[in-house]
Amino acid sequence: MILFQAVIHQIYFVMAGVVALLLLTRLFRRKTRPGLTYDIVYAYAIIPFVLRALHIK
C-alpha cells in the first residue's frame, strides 16, 4: 500500500513535467490561436507545472 502510494506520488511529479513540456511545445508550435494573448497564457501556465516537477512548490 505504502509502495503504491509512493509510486503514484512520483508518477504525478512526472506527469507535471510532461504537462510542462507539452505547454512548452505548444508555446512554440501550434496551428490555432497564434496571438500574443495565447503566447502569454502558455508561457505563464508553464510555471506551476515546472515548480511542481522540480519539487519546489
**Which residues contribute to the site for another protein (CB under 8 A)?**
1-2, 5, 8-9, 12-13, 24, 27-28, 34, 36, 39-40, 43-44, 46-47, 50-52, 55-57
Residue type at position 16: A
User: Closest distance between another protein and the C-beta of residue 19, in Å?
Assistant: 13
| Grid cell for residue 23 | 505547454
CB count, 10 Å around CB of 27?
Answer: 16
User: Closest distance between another protein and the C-beta of residue 57, in Å?
Assistant: 5
| Grid cell for residue 27 | 508555446
Residue type at position 31: K
C-beta closer to another protein: residue 31 or 57 = 57
